[in-house]
Structure 1
């Protein structure tokens, strides 16, 4: 395949918004080999390792750990890469490494049992900080494996909050402020305008670059970071507008559920639909995954996502239905603007058990 076919640098926004980024078309084994090399090099000689989701919350935890220990090799791992991150530390770190796992939650213990066993056998200690919705049995088994697990209230804390209070260290106010502003975005409180800045910056920069910036400047970003944000947001706003324009609001049971498709910033799209009266919003992405955002009127996003290979929080969750067997499935996904994925997720809304007046689930 010619590179210019998948390169989206100069692609018109009308097409860019409906197709995944260039990285989607790079074979997994090539990307995995590159990651293996980079992570092995990062872990070489390090006594501290941090397996973290590379968003603003996970990377804030990396900054906190590095402030305490003066080091901390970052092993980036999204929610569907958790087991890979654990195994890579077990494979490449020294046996006396102190390991921190941040902002990640396994849906089932079976997904990480072998990798966690290997990690426990090849490390000095493992501490795990998170704020997602953990199943009691999963948390119990992780602790039984020897992990020091601390899970915060997902409606009150982000993982940076959990790390800040769990690490035995007298942090400067800069780090408490970083956790507070990260929480403002991660819990979608939207009370501090700086929270959108750090979330966008974490998305657009390489993880190490972001960690360096917030470790040095906190949430008061340097001019070059502000310039980058201003430049990138021109395109960001255009992609948001296209996603909102192609969306619709459907009545499902007692809820108005907005559903749309496109490469975009999901939180801003969800806010636009909330202003139009949506109780929940589903944003289907070109890569096949989807984000589910709730409101005060709908706080069961994690229940919806849990039915379709995902999870998260009551007001914010993500998933990727297991419906893509080959490139024809993805081609159908792009040309129909995610029709099958939309249907699967909307069916998950319909399948939610009813709640009584006190919020207790009852049989339909």
Structure 2
């Protein structure tokens, strides 16, 4: 069966594509890796070229791009495309309704990760897919309940080239969850991470907002990645929120605060405890950062974080219970 896979450019997107491929017994004709803030542009430029089935997974909807997404989906469907969308991010019911009315088959489940949504709906009896989804969900939605998740996430993020993720989709499709190649990569990544932690203090600023510490960081090159660094820095500085900018986007992480509200304020979205938004820095600040002068970008990011947190408020998230702090 020929189909296109459009997935998020992370572990969850990679696992979602592999589990879907196992469910339909076929690798995709082509995999497109993208982000929620760019999905509308990808759909606009997508040419079917004789492929009339499209799966989209682990891509959330954002209010800022919703209309363009719907318009481009309708265009593809009018050309004969059959589209399935699997997601686990927080959506408004109106968004889901509009997507369904456009002709898209929607699988939406907040209780799991993107790969979990695909697994539960298409091939729940496949033990390999269940194990892969479990590992993925452990790190993607911050459950931290499956040790394989911490290992596989490092393997997936070892190489940022999309060809690497395509290679992994093929391996997962063929039932390889762990092997000697992955073990070697894991050991190499952990070694690099341990060295990287020593320099993180050079890239951060700790803000105190309403008596609560918040870590703001500008991105660095190499390990550790944002998820591991955020946990390390929040613990080290007794912070409840971590925010990271790279000049093009901002990411929020927390173990207890609803950070999706911050991302939504900036036109983005995501999970309750892990979210993000597009955020383009002034060119001169971005350029100085690339030249190794971090202060101007860090100052700019700190002011934005301070403003959005102050205006939005710190809302504690405890399961389904939200408490204003």
Please classify the TM superposition score into its range, dividing by the shorter chain length: 0.7 to 0.9
Residue 95 (structure 2) aligned to one of 135, 138, 152: 138
Q: CA deviation at 1:218?
A: 4.2
Q: CA deviation at 1:193?
A: 2.3
1:105-127 Cα shifts (integer Å, max 9, x gaps) = 22122231332122212234111
Q: CA deviation at 1:135?
A: 2.5
Residue 298 (structure 2) aligned to one of 330, 333, 338: 338
Residue 92 (structure 1) aligned to one of 42, 48, 52: 48
Q: What is the number of equivalent residue pairs in this alignment?
A: 306
1:294 counterpart = 2:254 = yes
Between the aligned partners of 1:244 and 1:149, the Cα distance in structure 2 is 43
Q: CA deviation at 1:49?
A: 1.4
1:351 counterpart = 2:314 = no
TM-score of the superposed pair, with normalisation by structure 1: 0.76
Partners of 1:244 and 1:269 within 8 A in 2: no
Between the aligned partners of 1:274 and 1:330, the Cα distance in structure 2 is 25
TM-score of the superposed pair, with normalisation by structure 2: 0.85
1:157 aligned partner: 112
1:247-305 Cα shifts (integer Å, max 9, x gaps) = 343221253212222325111111113323211111223x4322210112x1x211111
1:132-166 Cα shifts (integer Å, max 9, x gaps) = 1112322221111011112211xx31011111111
1:328 counterpart = 2:265 = no
Between the aligned partners of 1:356 and 1:161, the Cα distance in structure 2 is 26
Partners of 1:304 and 1:349 within 8 A in 2: yes
1:29 aligned partner: none
Between the aligned partners of 1:270 and 1:112, the Cα distance in structure 2 is 31
Q: What's the Cα RMSD here?
A: 2.5
Unaligned stretches of 5+ residues in structure 2? none
1:228 aligned partner: 185
Residue 215 (structure 1) aligned to one of 169, 173, 177: 173
Between the aligned partners of 1:170 and 1:232, the Cα distance in structure 2 is 32
Residue 261 (structure 2) aligned to one of 282, 303, 310: 303
Unaligned stretches of 5+ residues in structure 1? 1-45
Structure 1's 115 and 189: CA in aligned 2 closer, same or farther, altered over 3 A? same
Partners of 2:7 and 2:31 within 8 A in 1: yes
1:197 counterpart = 2:154 = no
Structure 1's 269 and 360: CA in aligned 2 closer, same or farther, altered over 3 A? closer
Between the aligned partners of 1:123 and 1:197, the Cα distance in structure 2 is 41
Q: CA deviation at 1:322?
A: 3.9
2:131 aligned partner: 177
Structure 1's 48 and 239: CA in aligned 2 closer, same or farther, altered over 3 A? same
Q: What is the 5 A alignment of 1:120-131?
A: 120-131=77-88
Q: CA deviation at 1:63?
A: 0.9
Partners of 1:308 and 1:345 within 8 A in 2: no
Between the aligned partners of 2:4 and 2:217, the Cα distance in structure 1 is 38
Greater percentage in strand: 2
1:177-220 Cα shifts (integer Å, max 9, x gaps) = 1101100010112222221221122222411111122223443x
Residue 31 (structure 2) aligned to one of 69, 74, 77: 74
Residue 60 (structure 2) aligned to one of 95, 102, 105: 105
